[in-house]
């Protein structure tokens, strides 16, 4: 009688990890490998970082070359696919298409209209039609999700908690619009709402607004809050935080960072905690109304 | 028998115009003067522009010096007050208070918490308690409001109208949060939502996001949409557009600008039309769900 080994489902086929930018693909690959399952990384040229993917079996792939990707998937015997890391919305003109991709072009063009969810969902349905199964990074590497409660030694004050609640309500209200997943509130005032600029862009803007005198809340007041959209496909597009988020929050002069517990990915958690403690800012996982709806 | 002269209500008392920055205070003062009513401008030091206020009887006043303002109001015999022009949310520390203001300090401090509506409403209630009547700029100078339909010769396309509808829905959703009054949508995608940075800040950000490749919609696609908040006090805080808005929309590479008809102030309309036509962008006043709720 064979005992099932965790991570050995799907007939021991290796897990395909499509890798965008950042360190997170490496963290997921390490966790999955450590659980005993083989991984094959598909590093997206222009986004994935060579230093991150080189530690694992990997292939470089190009956006718009689905045919080549499909042949590699078959050669490796992969059935399950994880999609992880940042891929900024590319321009259609930046992509050189191969023939199998061109056959899918009407669907791909539709994917480039509308919001990010739409683009990812379309890509996902193309994979599903070819018999692949999309799995969430948090399903194969559960430790990458933020839990409830504070990380490190700083705690949010009562005022911070009021700002967090306001921000969660705002994110919930804009959730149907397939827009950013972050906003900044300070002393019951909304300072910034994320859209195409991304979270780092929001934090840089706060630094500039403070320097120009456009916002006057003192340093150490205000929170960055991130939560997934209600309709967000949690399989491949959860909000993510890491050490660079902490550095941005500190530069922006905020008190801390709150994220939806159970629905936010954390990269390099030990480094996040050390840098948050050093900067004197709190990091907390909270129950988000938005996450509950997802 | 005396025939009532338009603009001569309130016993022919001069209209007090509290002037922030920009050219709009001058436009309002001209319209009111032309209607036969005397005006006295109270130019807020640090915000009002000397070239704008110098053409009219005026006094320079300081934030935090309500006592001095109150004495001038009584000396001039003013009862009605219009509040117009930009005053960026000041820091409490930037303000040197006089005694009558210090007596009101608890209320003023509360006014500095929460959003802009709250701050303006608190100031308004202090004026009301002293027997002054706050009137909207559009009540004394109705020509400054945008009407329904297009200005100039460019018309929005079907795609633009879809983007306008999406943006109006989004502004309606964030309306309860006392936040910005503008957003940018392009090809059914939300590119930017205004908060503390203001509309000019949003448009500058789009230029930078386009240069960095972060947004890829072609030039000539997308709209800037402005609408008042549902709870907005239309007496002193309506969204405003002017020639600099047109210049910003053109630099951001958008197709045009849509604003809530009957609830948006337009500064220098002839120049707005000339510059929009020269840049090939449309300007349209639309019925906004947000405005209807106000």
Mean of pLDDT values over B111-139: 72
With beta carbons under 8 A apart, name residues in chain A contacting B215. Answer: 89, 196
pLDDT of residue B27: 85
> How far from the centroid of its chain's Cα atoms is residue B96's Cα?
26
pLDDT > 90: percent of chain A: 44
Q: Is B7 a residue whose pLDDT tops 50?
A: no
Question: Helix B198-211 vs helix B243-251: angle between axes, to the nearest 10 degrees?
Answer: 20
Residue B140 clears pLDDT 60, i.e. is over it = yes
Top residue of A87, A111, A174, A193 to mutate, by most chain B CBs within 10 Å, is A193
How many CB atoms sit inside 10 A of residue A32's CB?
Answer: 21
- A170: which chain B residues are within 8 Å (Cβ-Cβ)? 174, 177, 179
CA torsion, ordered A92, A93, A95, A99, to nearest 10 deg: 80
Residue A249 has pLDDT above 70, yes or no: yes
Under the banding of pLDDT at 50, 70 and 90, the label for residue A75 is very high
Q: What is the dihedral sign for C-alpha B144, B149, B155, B156? A: positive
Which residues are B17's β-sheet partners?
B41, B82
- Per-residue pLDDT band for B209 (boundaries 50, 70, 90) equals very high
Question: What is the DSSP pairing of strand B182-186 with strand B189-193?
Answer: antiparallel
Q: Does B105 lie at the interface with A, CB-CB under 8 angstroms?
A: no
Question: Is the pTM above the cut of 0.80?
Answer: no
More confident residue, B124 or B188: B188
| Among A240-249, A265-274, B19-28, the least confident range | B19-28
**A209 interfacial to chain B (CB closer than 8 Å):** yes
User: For residue B37, is pLDDT > 60?
Assistant: yes
Q: Is the pLDDT of residue B97 over 50?
A: yes
Confidence of residue B135 (pLDDT cuts 50, 70, 90): confident
At B40 the pLDDT is 97
Assess whether pLDDT exceeds 50 at residue B6. no
pLDDT above 80 (res A99): no
Q: In terms of CA atoms, which chain A residue is nearest residue B195? A: A192
Out of B120-124, B200-204, B282-286, least confident range: B120-124
pLDDT category at A50 given cuts 50, 70, 90 is very high
B-contacting residues in A 145-174 (Cβ below 8 Å): 166, 169-170, 173-174
| Sequence-distant (≥ 6) Cβ neighbours of residue B168 within 8 angstroms | B225, B227, B258, B286, B288, B289, B290
Greater model confidence, B281 or A128: B281
The average confidence (pLDDT) of chain B is: 83
A244 vs B178: which has the higher pLDDT: A244
pLDDT at res. B232: 53
Q: Which of A133-137, B38-42, B58-62, B167-171 has the least mean pLDDT?
A: A133-137
Q: What is the ipTM of this complex?
A: 0.71
Residue A10: predicted pLDDT: 47
Judge contact between B177 and A168, C-beta under 8 A.
no
Give pLDDT tens digits for A222-235.
999 999 876 555 55
Between B103 and B13, the more confident residue is B13
Structure-model confidence comparison of residues A138 and B199, the more confident one: B199
Q: What is the pLDDT of residue A269?
A: 87
User: Pick the residue with more confidence: A198 or A10?
Assistant: A198
B190–A114 CB contact, under 8 Å: no
pLDDT at B38: 95
Say yes or no to pLDDT of A283 above 90.
Answer: yes
**Chain B stretch 111-130, residues whose beta carbon is closer than 8 A to a beta carbon of chain A:** 113-115
The predicted structure's pLDDT at residue A102 = 62
pLDDT at A93 over 50: yes
**Residue scoring higher pLDDT (A153 or A88):** A153
Residue-level pLDDT at B291 = 40
Residue B1 has pLDDT above 50, yes or no: no
> Coil, strand, or helix at residue B174?
helix
């Amino acid at each position: 009688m064979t005992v099932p080994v965790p991570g050995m489902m799907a007939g021991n086929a290796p897990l395909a990890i499509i890798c965008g930018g950042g360190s997170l693909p490496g963290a997921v690959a390490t966790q999955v490998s450590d659980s005993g399952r083989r991984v094959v990384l598909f590093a997206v040229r222009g986004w994935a970082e060579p230093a991150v993917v080189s530690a694992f079996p990997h292939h470089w792939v190009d956006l718009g070359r689905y045919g080549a990707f499909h042949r590699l998937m078959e050669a490796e015997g992969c059935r399950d696919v994880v999609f992880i890391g940042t891929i900024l919305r590319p321009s259609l003109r930046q992509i050189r298409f191969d023939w199998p991709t061109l056959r899918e072009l009407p669907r791909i063009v539709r994917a480039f209209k509308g919001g990010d969810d739409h683009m990812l969902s379309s890509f996902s349905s193309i994979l599903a039609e070819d018999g692949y199964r999309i799995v969430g990074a948090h399903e194969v590497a559960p430790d990458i999700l933020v839990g409830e409660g504070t990380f490190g030694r700083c705690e949010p004050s009562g005022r911070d908690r009021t700002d967090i609640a306001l921000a969660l309500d705002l994110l919930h209200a804009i959730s149907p619009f397939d827009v950013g997943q972050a906003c900044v509130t300070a002393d019951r005032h909304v300072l910034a709402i994320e859209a195409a600029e991304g979270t780092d862009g929001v934090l840089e803007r706060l630094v500039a607004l403070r320097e120009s005198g456009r916002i006057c809340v003192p340093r150490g007041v205000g929170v960055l809050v991130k939560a997934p959209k209600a309709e967000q496909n949690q399989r491949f597009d959860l909000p993510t935080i890491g050490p660079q988020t902490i550095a941005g929050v500190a530069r922006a002069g905020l008190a801390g960072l709150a994220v939806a517990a159970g629905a936010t990915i954390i990269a390099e958690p030990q480094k996040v905690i050390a840098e948050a403690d050093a900067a004197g800012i709190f990091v907390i996982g909270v129950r988000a109304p938005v996450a509950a709806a997802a």
